[in-house]
A and B are shown apart, each in its own frame.
Chain A
Amino acid sequence: MGIENIVLNLVIVIALLPLLSFVLLLFLGRFLPGRGGPVATALVGASFAASLYVLFQVLTRGNVASSMVWHVAGSARFTLGLLVDELTVFMLVVVTSISFVIHLYSIGYMHREKRLSWYFAVLSLFTAAMLSLVIADNYLQLYISWELVGLCSYLLIGFWFEKKSASDAAKKAFIVTRLGDVGLSLGIILIYVSTGSFIFSEVFQQAEGLSMTLVTAITLLLFCGAAGKSAQFPLHVWLPDAMEGPTPVNALVDAATKIGAGVYLVARNFPLFELSAFSTGTVVWIGAISALMAATMAMVMTDIKRVLAYSTVSQVGYMMVALGTGGYFAGIFHLMTHAFSKALLFLGSGSIIQAAHVQDITQAGGLYRRMKITAITFILGALSISGLPLFSGFWSSDQILRDVYNYNFIIYVILTFTSILTAFYMSRLVFLTFFGRKGDKAEYAHESPPVMSIPLILLAIPTVLVGFIGSPFLPEAYRFFTLFAPESFGVRQVEANYAVMGGPIAADLAGILLAYLIYQRNLRPQDWLARYLGPYYKVLLHKYYFDEIYLFLIVRPVLRLSDFIGRFDLAVIDRVVNWVGDSGLRFASAIGIFDLGVIDGIVNWVGDTMLDNSSRFRLSQTGYTLNYLLFFFAAVALLVLWIQFA
């Protein structure tokens, strides 16, 4: 067995371990120690270790992009396969590492829950679905995993389904994503119709032969799916509501799984997107709009988790912009740095929520003294998201901006402006939560137990350090990192561009300073923002009225239509059905009479006649043995005579 086979089998094991955990916890969760939590954590941890091994195998052996057929179903085109290339191993490591930490954290965070085994089971299934999504080598398999990811997010966001808002949020997340998924499924159908194949490599080979309109249509449809899953404008509305779910789930959704799935889809189909300038333009603009709009909303939110949710939408906008401008690995690099930082921030916010029982940042305050580990790691994550130099978020956003700078100056300006906002809302979060006026709840707050604080520290390490592999100042590390980018996509501009770098740094510092002045030094009153922005502030508070617009344009008409259809159903369809039923009944009773009179009569007559005749025939059975013998010999005699003369 060659090393390639080992790697391929190992990849299957990586995806199957969380699935095993799911099955185990589903059936035996009650009997396992800690109701299954440690078991699930261990299995996902093993998956993470295997991912690291696969990562190094793939990187040191250069090109290992290869696939193997599991089995053929139906006609030959429907294959199941594995594709283990640079992008795959990259996603494997990010997903398994973050999932592992979140599992560990959940042991502490969720230990009071009634349905703990179920929680861990679905958490593992979520991980398994995401892993099988990134190892798929064809669209069909990808789509199956894609839907599984959607299902798991539904189950987890609605984990506290006794609460109306939670079950509503779960439904919203599922249905809004579904809108995008319709696009994805149409795109996949279009791909199959035009190329006759589901397999990525075959599709990409044939793509250049397709007409421009077709490629544009396909990529736009695929992007629909990606925008739904990654919560991009205008399908971003589900993500803030998803904050009704347990905090570790938000961390998993926002950092590694569901959000990552959309970015992964675009990255995986990069060869297709590259062919259509219109599609990449759409991706860039949608990304830029999402980045800016979400950042503005994050400025005014007071729920700590909602701020983080909008921040996620904004940062994913960055990734989309990067992918659209052709910065293939700037995009996935940002996916990685953001994943670690955002997971850290969510877990930190979970720690705050549990310690201080407060989610509203205006109610918090002065928590720094009470919970130092949470505070310090949270600040590190915030600085990384803000893109402060030397933190990992800085290196990745710097690469994105370098690509954007060459692509379109307007986008560059938008993203730089977004950097100010990002730095502002992140600093606002930190200042209001950890410093300043002591909130009522801060008195009783305490640091979380080690099972929750250790994951924070584990995540803080990559949050700070992982960016250096993409730093232009460390050519050795950088060369290692460029291994991730397939050669055909090209590695752009290795040296630093100080002019491009300077803008965002200045923007960050300005944003942090502004937040510091308002919320820490109180140089401006706390509601300065509201007064300064005027009516626009109200628009922001209402999240640009997206929910209201959707309610008015989509939800209400749909409800009214279904109401009408329901009435039509009662008035017309039901009546027709009843009429059919009644006449059936009448017809049947007529048939019944005929049955009794004629059919039964014939049957009875046959039976009676038989009985009559046979009672006569049985008289020949005398019971005298000699009688029988006489008959016997007579018959033999007759037989002999017959043979003789016939």
Chain B
Amino acid sequence: MIPLPYYLIASTALLSVGIFGVLTRKHVIQILLSVELILNAVTINFVAFSLYIIPERPIGQVFAIFVITFAAAKVGVGLAIILAIYKSLRTANIEDIRLLKW
């Protein structure tokens, strides 16, 4: 059986890649993809901890399914927002979208 730290290292790496992507990418779709990576890191953690702490009850796996479902829904909403923004601003570049400024 693969020891727990391996999983954790893998998920941490995935998380880091995701955060890096979110902070550095300019295109909104790319940021959305990076967020997906972060979510996947979390999912790995759920499954790994569940396996090692309470192997007899698949709680972590259930959570993982919830997260995946949630991610799908979130992407739906996110893409809709991006489409709406693109329609009105004619751009999907995060640096050109400054609607939140005072």
**Residue tally, chain B, CB below 8 Å to A:** 11
Indicate whether A629 sits within 8 Å of B22 (C-beta atoms), given known contacts A621-B100, A621-B101, A622-B101: yes
Measured CB to CB, the closest approach of chain A to B74, in angstroms, equals 16
User: Contact at B102–A621, with CB atoms within 8 Å?
Assistant: yes
User: Contact at B98–A624, with CB atoms within 8 Å?
Assistant: yes
Beyond known contacts A621-B100, A621-B101, A626-B94: 9 more, CB 8 A cutoff: A622-B101, A623-B98, A623-B101, A623-B102, A624-B94, A625-B94, A626-B95, A629-B22, A630-B23
User: Contact at A633–B19, with CB atoms within 8 Å?
Assistant: yes
Query: Chain A 599-623, CB within 8 Å of chain B: the 1/0 string?
Result: 0000000000000000000100111
User: Contact at B23–A628, with CB atoms within 8 Å?
Assistant: no
A626 — which chain B residues lie within 8 A by C-beta? 23, 94-95
A-B contacts at CB below 8 angstroms, number: 27
* Residues of A that sit less than 8 Å from B by CB: 618, 621-626, 628-630, 633
B94 — which chain A residues lie within 8 A by C-beta? 624-626
Indicate whether A625 sits within 8 Å of B97 (C-beta atoms), given known contacts A633-B19, A633-B23: yes
B101 — which chain A residues lie within 8 A by C-beta? 621-623
B102 — which chain A residues lie within 8 A by C-beta? 618, 621, 623
* Residues of B that sit less than 8 Å from A by CB: 19, 22-23, 94-95, 97-102
In the complex, A624 Cα to B101 Cα: how many Å?
A: 8
In the complex, A623 Cα to B95 Cα: how many Å?
A: 9
A625 — which chain B residues lie within 8 A by C-beta? 94, 97, 100
A624 — which chain B residues lie within 8 A by C-beta? 94-95, 98
In the complex, A447 Cα to B82 Cα: how many Å?
A: 104
What residue in chain B is nearest A618 (Cβ atoms)? B102
6 pairs, CB–CB < 8 Å, chain A vs chain B: A621-B101, A622-B98, A623-B101, A626-B23, A626-B94, A633-B19
In the complex, A630 Cα to B23 Cα: how many Å?
A: 7
In the complex, A622 Cα to B98 Cα: how many Å?
A: 8
User: Contact at B23–A629, with CB atoms within 8 Å?
Assistant: yes
A630 — which chain B residues lie within 8 A by C-beta? 23
What residue in chain B is nearest A619 (Cβ atoms)? B102
Measured CB to CB, the closest approach of chain B to A243, in angstroms, equals 90
User: Contact at B19–A623, with CB atoms within 8 Å?
Assistant: no
A622 — which chain B residues lie within 8 A by C-beta? 98, 101
Measured CB to CB, the closest approach of chain B to A278, in angstroms, equals 97
In the complex, A179 Cα to B99 Cα: how many Å?
A: 86
